[in-house]
Amino acid sequence: MRKEDFDLISNILKERSGLVLTEEKIYLLESRLTPIARKKGLETLDDLINEIRLRRKEDLLCEVTDAMTTNESFFFRDNTPFDLFREDVMPSLMESAVASKKIRIWCAAASTGQEPYSLAIILSEMEAKLNGWTIEIIGTDLSQKVLDKAKSGIYSQFEVQRGLPIKLLMKYFTQAGEMWQISEKIRKMVTFRPYNLLDNFTPLGSFDVIFCRNVLIYFQQDTKADVLNRMHRQINTKGTLFLGAAETVLGLTEKFKPVQGKRGMYHTAEYSSQVRKVG
């Protein structure tokens, strides 16, 4: 692939999604964009790139961005954040929000839905304690394609075997041939909507918990800092942010502080300061 072709695609991806594509990832361009070229009746990837350069059609740009930003997900990925959510975050929120009995959770870059559904399953298991509470889970992603799959709640045998305990599979899923569908009860607990992390978060409202895992690693430093600072404006003072194991706020923002001994978990700087004073 010519450098000018690589630069064209990588610039489109950065402008539209924040994704930074390095030259060692050329193989990803070839493997993910060649099927689009074939679908469009074009003979080669070069033909597709020429089409993009000449016409810049919005639907084609969306398809290319979609193909390059689709990342894998699986149920209860990495376990630790979900254990912390169950054992630390929820008890604390139930104490601080006892007057309103309302909790809002945002899963940014929710992909095919396994993360928000994992949280919904945890909350369903806590149902007796949450009687009378209103809990809203919002899952967002740039890709409409993965959101459509998430909304359906239908997963392959391979997908449900990745991280999902057999007990929960049998309790919350129904088998249909070689596929499994999560129960309507769990599906109704999550609202999915398309959203770009480069856009203004204000319309989403405020949240008590934000999961933004394994997406910032694909952004440049200034974009990471911008996303984190804007998330801070949408999170309640006693809110909690979860990042991926390979991600951090250090060197990016002072608005979130890591929670000591709890990997991937961050409090707002304001709340962290209050906790330190009490301690």
Whether residue 167 sits in one domain with residue 263? yes
Q: Is residue 91 classed as helix, strand or coil in its secondary structure?
A: helix
Any idea which residue has 């089409």 for tokens?
51
Whether residue 158 sits in one domain with residue 58? no
Q: What is the pLDDT of residue 67?
A: 85
Q: What is the pLDDT of residue 140?
A: 97
Mean pLDDT of all residues in 235-263: 95
Range of the domain at 208: 80-278
Q: What is the pLDDT of residue 26?
A: 81
Whether residue 16 sits in one domain with residue 115? no
245: in domain: yes
Q: What is the pLDDT of residue 72?
A: 75
- Please state which of the ranges 15-29, 35-49, 115-129, 170-184 shows the lowest mean pLDDT: 15-29
CA angle 108, 112, 114 (to 5 degrees): 80
Q: Inform me whether the pLDDT recorded for 279 exceeds 70.
A: no
Q: What is the pLDDT of residue 91?
A: 96
Residue 33: what residue type? L
Mean pLDDT of all residues in 240-263: 95
Question: What rounded mean pLDDT belongs to the chain?
Answer: 92
Q: Inform me whether the pLDDT recorded for 277 exceeds 60.
A: no
- Please state which of the ranges 19-33, 184-198, 227-241, 253-267 shows the lowest mean pLDDT: 19-33
Whether residue 146 sits in one domain with residue 43? no
Q: What is the pLDDT of residue 69?
A: 80
Give the residue, 254 or 67, on which the prediction is more confident: 254
Percent of the chain with pLDDT over 70: 98
Mean pLDDT of all residues in 7-24: 87
Q: What is the pLDDT of residue 149?
A: 94
Give me the half-sphere count of Cα atoms (radius 13 Å) on the Cβ side of residue 125: 16
Q: How confident is the model at residue 30 (pLDDT cuts 50, 70, 90)?
A: confident
**Which of 37-41, 186-190, 267-271 has the highest average model confidence (pLDDT)?**
186-190
Give the residue, 66 or 252, on which the prediction is more confident: 252
Q: How confident is the model at residue 195 (pLDDT cuts 50, 70, 90)?
A: very high
Whether residue 195 sits in one domain with residue 59? no
Mean pLDDT of all residues in 12-22: 87
Number of domains in the chain: 2
Q: How confident is the model over 52-99, as pLDDT tens digits?
A: 988 788 888 988 888 888 677 899 999 999 999 999 999 999 999 999
Give just the sign of the alpha carbon dihedral 224, 226, 231, 232.
positive
Whether residue 165 sits in one domain with residue 28? no
Q: What is the pLDDT of residue 275?
A: 66
Whether residue 122 sits in one domain with residue 234? yes
35: phi then psi, degrees, rounded to nearest 5: -60, -30
Question: In 3D, which of 137, 147, 14 has the Cα closest to residue 73?
Answer: 147
Contacts for 82 with CB less than 8 Å, ≥ 6 apart: 76, 118, 119, 122
Whether residue 250 sits in one domain with residue 150? yes
Whether residue 88 sits in one domain with residue 60? no
Mean pLDDT of all residues in 183-212: 96
In our burial notation (b when 16+ CB lie closer than 10 A, e otherwise), range 177-193 reads eeebbbbeebbebbebe
- Please state which of the ranges 20-24, 95-99, 205-209 shows the lowest mean pLDDT: 20-24
Q: What is the pLDDT of residue 211?
A: 98
Q: Inform me whether the pLDDT recorded for 133 exceeds 60.
A: yes
Q: Inform me whether the pLDDT recorded for 44 exceeds 80.
A: yes
Whether residue 19 sits in one domain with residue 155? no
Q: How many residues does the chain have?
A: 279
